[in-house]
Amino acid sequence: MVGWSGRRKNLTILAFVVPTLLAIAVFSVYPFIFNTFISLTNRSKFRPNPDCSVTIWRIVEPTCWLSTEQRGLAEPFTFSDPLLKNYGDLLGGLFTADALLALLRIGLIVAPLIVALVLNNRWGKRLSRPVSSGIVWLGGLVVTILLALPWLLDLPGAYQTLLESGDFIMVNVRTILYVVICMPLFFIFGLTMALILNNDYIKGRTFFRVILIVPWAASTVAIMMSLIWQFFFRGNGTINQFLAVLGIEGPTYLTKDVWAFFVVVLVNLWYTYPFFMVIILGGLQSIPPDLYEAAEVDGASWWQQLMNITLPLLRPAVLPAIVLSTLTTYKVDAVVWGITQGGPVKGADIPGFTEFVMVHAYKQIFQTRAYGRMGAFAVILFVVLFIATLYSLRITRITEGAYE
Amino acid sequence: MNQPPKPWTKILMYVVLVLMTIFALYPVWFAVLAAGRPGQRLYTFDLMGMIVPTQWTWDNLRALLTETAFLTWIKNSLFVATATALAALFIGTSAAFAFSRFKFYGRQGGLILFLAIQAFPGILSLVPIAQILSAVGLYANHWGLIMAYLAGTLVFVIWNLKGYFDTIPIDLEEAAMIDGCDPIQSFVRVALPLARPALAVTLLFGFMAGWGEFFLANILIPAPDAKKTVMVGMYQMANEVNIPWGRFASGAVLVLIPIILIFLWLQRYLESGLTVGGVKG
């Protein structure tokens, strides 16, 4: 910019950004600092109040700002002993020999798939490849499945061990399982619909494109729409009524672990595939048609064109969407809350099969009221999400403008 | 890949399209059917009644509007979501402009901080936010809820508008400054009018984020009924002992239709990547 510099420039910039920084300091940065301090205490429903005579709580605790009087009859909370006790409670189970071994086994089980990916990338750069990419993938998959069997590396056993190493780890393992199941489905549904809608010989494409994003619109009121979905899967809900007409008695989906899990997957698929469809469609339209013409001349089949032209060229458009969607799927809340509330219920304070990370946090804060532990939870989650965000920035380079 | 498909491939494509259309629309259509069905139940033993409206009554809608606080909830939600979006736009636009145009210390760090804030779920900040709001007397108050929404919406607004300002050529502002504008004037008189469409779209998306939010609203405005937002009210209605499904469905339809219309209207912006800041639920 021309014509202005020095003190005046700084003042102008300050005037532009100060209101924003203020709002973010109060409602984003301060809560984080607060959580960090609370995570070091034994605050819970039995010790909900601060001791306002301690300087640090005079500063950090809003309830101490106006008066230092002791509130309530319960004893005030204090720093835990040892200081990082809450972190130990959450993560401790992970650092036992059994749990670490289970993690290692899971790592070894997925290793063949990673090897297949690397091999395909390497061979993809050559003019002629020893075996086709499909066979490499198939090989990797077969070895993975073999390794996962109980008498080799025992994936179910490893999973069970992790489930038993504490609620926090159990909830995280299930959430990651949920993400791992959801993401390929989102992508495959989005890709299929985008490929169909991108075909010039299909009539009424505009109409279908408009209709098919209705679920995305409904996802902005996810909590309400999920309540309607929940009704479909009740014991005497819509699905079972259709089944009854065919003479089949359906299960009560929402009280069975695996059923409830897949209902939540299905509903989230409903909300999310239009997002992928729109992104992939945009990517498809930016692929130059001559590439396909050239491939056609060379005699490439539909599948070869998909694998060697479409998917690689979609990468830049789709990868940011996948990263963003992975994070939002990990943080899924309203969808689950509307359908299962984290159930099926196992008993007080035992996380149900669909109690994913955010639902667990919500329940722990507002039902169990384990404030201290959830402070630690928030700090750990922030670190994880911060790293994930930095990583996604590296991939998507949406900050290109900021780095110049 | 745009060869004419073989006939059976084409048929298969149409079959998939039709099935997916049913999948996409049936839940919404189901709510419409239930809204017009006599009695307070979503289901019927009449199979046709689950596909087309065999009976129709306006009783549910009438009961919803007269016997529940639905209209008040709508009014509250309209107020909260509009005020949030407007405030975020008012505060955030200038920051977005600064982040797009000026070079200053901490710019890159700030942008990354904003993204990290957006990645961090609001539920985990709820306890401190609730405590601040009750300390300043804004707990169970719409203004408190608006302030709690503000930070998240701001980040979205800034990323969105920064992206848009980046696409406006800087030459126009430079020309204005040679003619004697200072940076503030070049912002208000040149950049803002150019960004008008982006401002409108950002406002709408910011509005919808506040409109559909549930968890913060549920905690920060626990009572009375007359202060609740529509999402909280509807959730509560679906958790009553004898769930008034007919009313619930009428309410759901009333909430859904405008949102679907807005989305269809904004379709081309969804595709143009304006959603980088991430409005996806």
Model confidence pLDDT, tens digit, residues B235-248: 988 887 777 888 88
Full-model pTM: 0.87
Give the gap in angstroms from C-alpha B272 to the nearest C-alpha of chain A. Answer: 8
Averaged pLDDT, B16-41: 86
B-chain residue closest to A275, CA distance: B280
**Residue-level pLDDT at A235:** 77
Nearest to B251 by CA among A151, A223, A83: A223
**Residue-level pLDDT at B110:** 84
Phi-psi region of A322 (alpha: psi -120 to 50; beta: other; left: phi over 0): alpha
Residue B94 C-alpha from the chain's centroid: 22
Mean residue pLDDT across chain B: 83
- Chain B residues within an 8 Å CB radius of A12: 102, 182-184
- Residue B41: pLDDT band (50, 70, 90) is low
**Residue-level pLDDT at B78:** 92
Nearest to A222 among B20, B158, B281 (CB): B281
Averaged pLDDT, B58-72: 85
**Residue-level pLDDT at B244:** 81
Model confidence over A110-122: pLDDT tens digits? 888 888 888 877 7
Element (H, E) at B165: helix B142-167
Query: Is the model's pLDDT at B270 over the cut of 60?
Result: yes
Query: What are the φ/ψ torsions at residue A41 (nearest 5 degrees)?
Result: -115, 175
Integer distance in angstroms from the first to the last C-alpha of chain A?
Answer: 15
**Residue-level pLDDT at B278:** 39
Query: Is the model's pLDDT at B100 over the cut of 80?
Result: yes
Specify which residues A79 forms β-bridges with.
Answer: A41
**Residue-level pLDDT at A70:** 65
Do the Cβ atoms of A210 and B98 come within 8 Å?
no
Do the Cβ atoms of B108 and A305 come within 8 Å?
no
- Chain A residues within an 8 Å CB radius of B37: none
**Residue-level pLDDT at A178:** 93
Nearest to B119 among A1, A305, A327 (CB): A327
Burial class (CB in 10 A: 0-12, 13-18, 19+), A53: exposed
Residue to mutate among B33, B239, B263, B274, with most A CBs inside 10 A, is B263
A335 in Cβ contact with A271 (< 8 Å): yes
Neighbour tally for A10: CB within 10 Å: 13
Averaged pLDDT, B108-119: 82
Give the gap in angstroms from C-alpha B21 to the nearest C-alpha of chain A. Answer: 6
For A41, the 3-state DSSP assignment is strand
b (16+ CB within 10 A) / e for A310-337: beebbeebbebbbbbbbbbbbbbbbbbb
Neighbour tally for A228: CB within 10 Å: 26
A-chain residue closest to B261, CA distance: A217
**Residue-level pLDDT at A152:** 76
Averaged pLDDT, B48-52: 76
Do the Cβ atoms of B235 and A227 come within 8 Å?
yes
- Chain B residues within an 8 Å CB radius of A207: none
Query: What are the φ/ψ torsions at residue B39 (nearest 5 degrees)?
Result: 90, 160
Do the Cβ atoms of A19 and B177 come within 8 Å?
no
Do the Cβ atoms of A193 and B20 come within 8 Å?
yes
CA distance A273 to A331: 17
Q: Which residues of chain A have pLDDT under 50?
A: 1-3, 399-404
- Chain A residues within an 8 Å CB radius of B256: 217-218, 221, 224-225
A-chain residue closest to B126, CA distance: A31
Query: Is the model's pLDDT at B2 over the cut of 80?
Result: no
Nearest to B117 among A24, A232, A274 (CB): A24
**Residue-level pLDDT at A5:** 59
- Residue B81: pLDDT band (50, 70, 90) is very high
Give the gap in angstroms from C-alpha A368 to the nearest C-alpha of chain B. Answer: 13
